[in-house]
Structure 1
Amino acid sequence: MGTSDPEKRHGDGRAISDEEWARFVREAEAGGGAPKEPSARARMVTERLRAQDQAAARRERRRWGRRPKPAGQPEGRRPGPAWQAMNGRAGKRRSVTSLVVVLALVGVAAVAVRPELVTDRLPDGGESDVAAPLAQETARPTAAPSEDPFPDRPTLKDPFRGSPAVRWADGAAGIVLPEAKAVGGMSKAQVAHALRSTKEVLVAANLDPATLRGERPEEALELLDPLQEDGRGRLEKALREPSERQDPLVMFSRFDPGHVRLVGDVVKTRGRTTFGKGDRSGEVRVHADYTFVYPLVKAEPGSTDVARSVVRRHLTFVLYDPAKVVSTQGKLNVLTWDSSVGNSACGRDGGFYRPQFTEDLVGEPAPSGPDVDPYDRSRDLADTPQECGTVTRT
């Protein structure tokens, strides 16, 4: 800071700067010895320093309005408590960093309570970066997806809101087949056919709108070997006369159209397909482990309460070489079928999933089984409790 024509103190002949004179006045005032009527010189210097401080503050406000506030204090004079001035820039950095941390924590708390503060301001309804698709699953996960302590409620416009499935693939796009190769005495072409047929069964049995409406899944059945009585034969009986012992839901996802309807035309899908040789030459086994998420509303006109049912299937299909094993050329046999469903009423048959809505839960007795996260793909379905339990989320 520059000085004007310096005055000379009597007796020493040295020039005194504006800053020294202002400090002298402040120290005198602090010590109780300040003159009652400041001199014109003191008033002039003090007023000049105050004006310079105000101008610097205005410049800082304009600069911070154009870009994010830095973690440390900028160079130059800054009005503030004496301890900040004595601690220097390091002390000021600590002060500002603490302020930024506090503000960040407050922001996190606000978003946790009202996520729409952020999501409603993102492009495309708030799903741009947050809802970026997950990479394809190539191995069993080691843990369940993290849970949101304040999940958003699904809506007719955004039926997967608040669910991990919002980042999953849509429908058949989530069923990605591995590259075929010869195995188990089966050629590469035969293995490729087994993989394609497996995907076609999964799509026809779990994604086809007609199947979801409870219609006969003809396309899926046609891919299965009619010679397998405990496979295709058993499923056809279950479709004709569904019961607890003959349940078509072991293979097909079906909802009663008189009770519910699908919201939109998207079912979310996540999982993986693998293959390997069988117990003998002339067979290839295809393992499919997929989870399907269905958003639904009641079939009543004007219904807006969205519920989701989460179905996981672990299926093993076998394609035999007819020259070595009695079978139908190109048709799949079913070796195993395991499944679980999150959000379907307990103790009801009829061959349909029965999703429950918020109003249905009032007065309902709590299930006796354990809590289960239907999105947890790290667990083995064989270890899933058979009794009816409670889903932690849908």
Structure 2
Amino acid sequence: MSTSSGDEPNLSDAELEAFLKDAAGGSSSGAPPKEPSARARMVARRLREADEAAARQAKKGRSADPPGWRTGPVGQEANGRRARRRRVLAVVGVVVAVAVAVVAVRPSLLLDRFGGGGTATASEPGDPGLPTRAEPFRGSPALSWADGADGIELPAVQAVGDMSAEDVTEALRLTKELLVASNLDPAVLRGDRPEKAMALLDPESPGLTSRLKRSLSDPSEEDDPLTLFTRFDPGEARVIGDDAVKVRGEMTYEAGDPGSVEVHADYTFVYGVERADGGAVDRTIVRRDWTVMLADPERWEATEGRLLPKSYYVNFGNTACEVYDGYLHPSFTGASVTGSPATGPEVDPYDRSEPVTRDPDMTCGEVTRV
């Protein structure tokens, strides 16, 4: 019998096998079995307890390994996998933050129009400060902004943390695709389901897929698809042409937790819109602030080529207050306004000098210009 530096002697495999044969009455020597040692009795007791535990588990209808008294590397590897999964759930499932702030047009007042070096009002026919179908951004600060996807420029790429330049390139590319699919896709702007955008999001993000599907099928204040997607009620308003969107913003990135890169995108989208029945033209402004993560699926519970959203904030300018049907509802000059009256402070939706409002309880306010 061999011993170790621990508190108890160890049985070798050969000794254990011989003892079990003797205990079962199967001694090969034919001699009566000797009184087992204290160590042998302890081993037998442990084996018996393991068998009893396995039997109890079997009665419950599920299998279970007996309590291990010879634990090896496999158990440690399994523990490592569980630890990584717990970390992903904490990062992705808990940190996700959402805030929506709505600012509505003042329906009873004349809107200030900034452009052409002066101020114009809706009462001045043919005024150069007012939008038209041919010139939906006339009189808007967005007139000089880039058109559509051209306004989403990717920064220079370099490796960060333990992520390669190729990893960073993919993260930036996917983030731009998500912004385009969520805010510029003509079908989505017409109110269709954002299938392309949803396909870019990682289903490993806890609860995200089910929440988005619920928001599209049964929108509410708690589950509002507008937190991620720009959609207009096709019965009320439509974007003027497929390219009538102006975009300005920036995208940055940094190393995330080991095996990941995080991308931060802060963009303002200005939409030239007209009433569904023709006639009145106006604009709606949407500013989105997102942080998304691309994780290495070899080290994270993640899907290759998919983004995990960590936070997403949005401010709207010129849409109805407290209407949660999954669509934006622009207020057109001279038209009656749906939703609740604007009671909050005045807000300039073009001002990018301050961060996107993080307060989800912000009272619906009034825009100073559209």
TM normalised by structure 2 equals: 0.64
Q: CA deviation at 1:324?
A: 1.6
Quote the residue 1:213 is aligned against. Answer: 190
Q: Look up the match of 2:366.
A: 390
Residue 271 of structure 1: how far off its partner (Å)? 0.4
Residue equivalent to 2:155: 178
Question: Which residue pairs with 2:293 in the alignment?
Answer: 318
Residue 342 of structure 2: aligned partner: 367
User: How do residues 125-274 of structure 1 correspond to structure 2 at under 5 angstroms?
Assistant: 148-150=118-120, 152-265=129-242, 266-274=244-252
Return the letter of the residue paired with 1:271: G
Bigger Rg over Cα: 1
Matching residue of 1:297: 274
Distance 1:382 1:263 in 2: 28
Question: Do the aligned partners of 1:148 and 1:162 also contact (CA within 8 Å) in 2?
Answer: no
Please tell me the residue identity of whatever aligns with 2:119.
P
Aligned to 2:281: 306
Contact map agreement 1:231 1:333 (CA 8 A) in 2: no
The superposition leaves residues 52-83 of structure 1 with CA deviations (integer Å, 9 ceiling, x where unpaired) of xxxxxxxxxxxxxxxxxxxxxxxxxxxxxxxx
2:252 and 2:352 map into 1 onto residues whose CA distance is 16
Q: Is the 8 A contact 1:197 1:332 kept in 2?
A: yes
Please give the secondary structure, in 2, of the residue aligned with 1:308. Answer: strand
More relative contact order, 1 or 2 (CA 8 Å, 6+ apart): 2
Q: Distance in 2 between matches of 1:328 and 1:192?
A: 17
Report if aligned partners of 1:178, 1:273 keep a CA contact under 8 Å in 2. Answer: yes
For residues 152-205 of structure 1, the C-alpha deviation after alignment (integer angstroms, 9 at most, x for no partner) is 110111110000010000000000001221112111111100000000000000
SS of aligned partner of 1:162: coil
Cα offset for 1:258?
A: 1.1
Deviation of 1:296 after TM superposition, in Å, equals: 1.0
Query: Residue 145 and residue 358 in structure 1: after superposition, are their counterparts in 2 closer, same or farther (change >3 A)?
Result: closer
Post-superposition offset of 1:366: 5.2
Greater strand proportion: 2
For the residues of structure 2 that align with 1:350 and 1:364, how far apart are their CA atoms?
Answer: 11
Q: Residues 219 and 147 from structure 1, CA distance in 2 versus in 1: closer, same or farther, beyond 3 angstroms?
A: farther
Task: Report the secondary structure of 1:198's partner residue.
Answer: helix
Query: How far apart are residue 297 of structure 1 and its match?
Result: 1.1
Shift in alpha-carbon separation, 1:305–1:179, aligned structure 2, 3 A: same
Find the residue that maps to 2:253 and give its secondary structure: strand
Aligned residue in 1 for 2:324: 349
Q: 1:148 to 1:327 in 2, by over 3 A?
A: farther
1:234/1:272 CA distance change after superposition, 3 Å: same
Deviations 1:22-57 (A, max 9, x none): xxxxxxxxxxxxxxxxxxxxxxxxxxxxxxxxxxxx
| Cα distance in 1 for residues equivalent to 2:170 and 2:201 | 13
Q: Secondary structure in 2 aligned to 1:382?
A: coil
Deviations 1:333-370 (A, max 9, x none): 00000000000010111100010111225899852100
Q: C-alpha displacement at 1:145, in angstroms?
A: 10
Contact 2:115 2:140 in 1 (8 A): no
**Alignment correspondent of 1:284:** 261
Please provide the CA RMSD for this pair: 2.2
Q: 1-side partners of 2:191 and 2:219: how far apart?
A: 12
Identity %: 49
1:229 offset after TM fit, Å? 2.7
Q: Which letter does structure 2 place at the counterpart of 1:176?
A: E
Structure 1 contact 318–333 (Cα < 8 Å) conserved: yes
Contact in 1 for aligned 2:116/2:129 (Cα 8 Å): no
Q: Distance in 2 between matches of 1:192 and 1:147?
A: 42
Q: 1:235 to 1:156 in 2, by over 3 A?
A: same
Cα distance change, pair 304–316 in 1 and its aligned pair in 2 (3 A): same
Cα distance 1:254–1:389, how it changes in 2: closer, same or farther (>3 A)?
Answer: same
Query: 3-state SS of the aligned residue for 1:359?
Result: coil
Gaps of 5+ in 2: 1-113, 121-127
Flag the structure with higher helix content.
1
Matches of 2:252 and 2:180, distance apart in 1: 17
Whether the 8 Å contact between 1:275 and 1:287 is mirrored in structure 2 is yes
Q: Is the 8 A contact 1:155 1:304 kept in 2?
A: no
Deviations 1:291-326 (A, max 9, x none): 0011111111xx221111000000000011112211
Aligned-partner SS, 2:241: coil
Q: 1:387 to 1:190 in 2, by over 3 A?
A: same
Q: 2 CA distance for matches of 1:214 and 1:378?
A: 31
Q: Distance in 1 between matches of 2:247 and 2:352?
A: 12
Relative to 1, partners in 2 of residues 1:247 and 1:362: Cα closer, same or farther, differing over 3 Å? closer
On the 8 A contact 2:254/2:263 being kept in 1, the answer is: yes
- The unaligned stretches of length 5 or more in structure 1 are 1-143
Q: 1 CA distance for matches of 2:115 and 2:348?
A: 9
Instruction: After TM superposition, give the deviation of residue 264 of structure 1 in Å.
Output: 2.4
Contact 1:145 1:375 in 2 (8 A): no
Specify the alignment match of 1:331 in structure 2. 306
The alignment partner of 1:381 has SS state of coil
Q: Which secondary structure does the structure 1 equivalent of 2:223 belong to?
A: coil
